[in-house]
């Protein structure tokens, strides 16, 4: 029998949240005003309705509750997590037997990725490039593991169905494409650093030219 996994908030917890809400605080303040009118005799015999009405009015005019904005990991934390995933990927690749050509391409690719993740060099520029970080994360967490795992599974079937295209050819093409993508990312990060250097040079030249 299927069961629902929807979690409902306990009634007591919901009541406590409302007690601390702006609507209840504003309504209570207006309700106290109604009690003050009752004690002074201004509310008359209808004081329960006056108190309830003022409480409701205060709850209605109170500003709505503001939800807290979600807190996501900063770029430095994302890079640390990506480096940990890259270490996991390299450990996995060491357990897989690849043909020489594919193994060489894998080494070239992982060397570029390692350089991109180096905390002392390209890592700083990568943290300022969300698209680049997404590209790198996709390669490490999805593309490379899927390429290698698909090769391993296809190779097993090729043994019992000879005559088909060798799966290592597809693997080599995939690794070549991923290597080109990683080099393109590295070139873009390098270009960013070059522009930053030129900008700083122009700033210094302008500061000296405008000086006394």
For every residue of 12-66, DSSP letters joined together read HHHHHHHHTSHHHHHHHHHHHHHHHHHHTTSSGGGHHHHHHHHHHHHHHHSPPPP
Q: Is residue 154 part of a domain?
A: yes
CB atoms within 10 A of CB 104: 13
Residues 92 and 165 both lie in one domain: yes
φ and ψ of 10, to 5 deg: -60, 145
Q: Per the domain annotation, does 70 fall within a domain?
A: no
The mean of the pLDDT values for the chain is 79
Residues 89 and 178 placed together within one structural domain of the fold: yes
92/158 Cα distance (integer angstroms) = 22
| pLDDT over 60 (residue 138) | yes
Whether residues 35 and 119 fall in one domain: no
> Helices 144-160 and 75-94, interaxial angle, to 10°?
20
Res. 3 pLDDT band, cuts 50 70 90? very low
13, part of any domain: no
Residue-level pLDDT at 206: 86
Whether residues 193 and 136 share a domain: the answer is: yes
Let me know whether 29 and 108 are in one domain.
no
Average pLDDT of the residues in 134-148: 95
Which range among 17-26, 158-167, 170-179, 197-206 shows the weakest confidence by mean pLDDT? 17-26
Region 142-170: mean pLDDT is 84
Q: How many domains does the chain have?
A: 2
Is residue 23's pLDDT more than 80?
no
Q: Say yes or no to pLDDT of 35 above 90.
A: no
Please give the distance of CA 29 from its chain centroid, rounded to a whole number: 42
In terms of domains, do 139 and 98 share one? Answer: yes
Confidence at residue 180, expressed as pLDDT on a 0 to 100 scale: 96
64: tokens are 């709505």
State the number of CA atoms in the 13 A half-sphere of 78 facing the CB.
Answer: 19
What is the extent of the structural domain holding 150? Answer: 75-209
Structure tokens given for 165: 């295209």
pLDDT value at position 162? 67
Residue 12, in any domain of the structure: no
State whether 130 and 202 are in the same domain.
yes
Please state which of the ranges 57-66, 146-155, 166-175, 179-188 shows the lowest mean pLDDT.
57-66
Q: Which of 48-62, 96-110, 156-170, 174-188 has the lowest mean pLDDT?
A: 48-62
179, 86: one domain: yes
pLDDT for the residue numbered 4: 42
Answer yes or no: do 52 and 80 share one domain: no
Task: Verify that 36 and 81 share a domain, yes or no.
Answer: no
> Residue 1 pLDDT > 50, yes or no?
no
End-to-end CA, the chain: 85
Averaged over 32-43, what is the pLDDT? 64
Q: Are residues 23 and 91 in the same domain?
A: no
The two three-digit tokens of residue 177, written as one number: 């494409």
Is residue 53 pLDDT above 60, yes or no? yes
Evaluate if residue 202 carries a pLDDT over 50. yes
pLDDT score recorded for residue 169: 92
Provide the token pair at 52: 């309830």
Is 164 part of any domain? yes
Q: At what angle do helices 47-61 and 22-39 cross, to 10 degrees?
A: 150
138 or 70, which is more confident? 138
């Amino acid at each position: 029998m299927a069961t629902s996994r929807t979690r409902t908030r306990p009634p007591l917890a919901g009541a406590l949240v409302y007690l601390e809400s702006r609507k209840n605080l504003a309504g209570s303040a207006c309700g106290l005003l109604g009690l003050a009118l009752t004690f002074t005799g201004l509310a008359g015999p209808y004081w329960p309705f006056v108190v309830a009405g003022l409480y409701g009015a205060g709850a209605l005019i109170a500003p709505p509750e503001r939800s807290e904005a979600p807190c996501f990991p900063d770029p430095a934390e994302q890079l640390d997590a990506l480096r940990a995933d890259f270490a996991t990927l390299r450990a996995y690749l060491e357990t897989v037997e690849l043909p020489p050509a594919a193994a060489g391409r894998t080494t070239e690719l992982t060397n570029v990725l390692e350089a991109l993740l180096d905390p002392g060099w390209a890592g700083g520029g990568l943290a300022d490039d969300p698209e680049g970080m997404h590209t790198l994360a996709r390669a490490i967490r999805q593309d490379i593991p899927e390429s290698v795992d698909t090769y391993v599974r296809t190779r097993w079937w090729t043994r019992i169905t000879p005559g088909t295209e060798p799966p290592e050819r597809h693997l080599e093409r995939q690794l070549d494409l991923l290597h080109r993508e990683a080099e393109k990312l590295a070139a873009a990060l390098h270009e960013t650093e070059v522009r930053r250097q030129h900008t700083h040079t122009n700033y210094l030249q302008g500061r000296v030219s405008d000086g006394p």
